[in-house]
Amino acid sequence: ILSGATSNKASQSRTRALQSQNSPECKEEPETLSPELEYIPRKRAKNPMKAVGLAWAIGFPCGILLFILTKREVDKDRLKQMKARQNMRASNTGEYESQRFRSSSQQAPNHGTEAGV
């Protein structure tokens, strides 16, 4: 019963305050609203965190995808470099002069001695 009475009082005082604000007599000096009155917005307020939430919803998954794609590219480049190094190491083992170069280097001095004789 008491809560109903206070809500009725609040609604009556709210309507009185609205009527008094609309009257030309009170436009000069607005009345202070009593603590019983509550503010009821006419339209829904905008959520300032909506843009932040949207940025996180788009940016976070995109960041993860970009990280994964970049990591794959780096791994591919690393694999190419490792294969190139392995091929270079394999080519450096064994004899440096093949039979063809050895035979030509041995024949060159012989030709020079025959021409000098």
Q: What are the pLDDT digits (tens) for 42-84?
A: 898 888 899 999 999 999 999 999 999 999 999 999 999 999 9
| Nearest CA-CA partner of 10 in 38, 45, 43 | 38
Specify the pLDDT at position 31.
63
> Within its chain, how far is the Cα of 86 from the centroid?
37
- Residue 49 DSSP class: T
- Residue 97 DSSP class: S
pTM: 0.41
DSSP 22-48: HSTTSSSSPPPPPTT-----SSPPPPT
Amino acid identity of 86?
Q
% of the chain with per-residue pLDDT over 90: 35
Tokens matching residue 11: 């609604």
Specify the pLDDT at position 94.
72
% of the chain with per-residue pLDDT over 70: 53
Spatial distance between the Cα atoms of 17 and 26, rounded to a whole number of angstroms: 10
As a whole number, mean pLDDT of residues 16-36 equals: 58
pLDDT band for position 104 (cuts 50, 70, 90): low
Which residues in 12-43 are b (16+ Cβ under 10 Å) and which e? eebeebeeeeeeeeeeeeeeeeeeeeeeeeee
Specify the pLDDT at position 39.
85
Specify the pLDDT at position 38.
84
Specify the pLDDT at position 4.
47
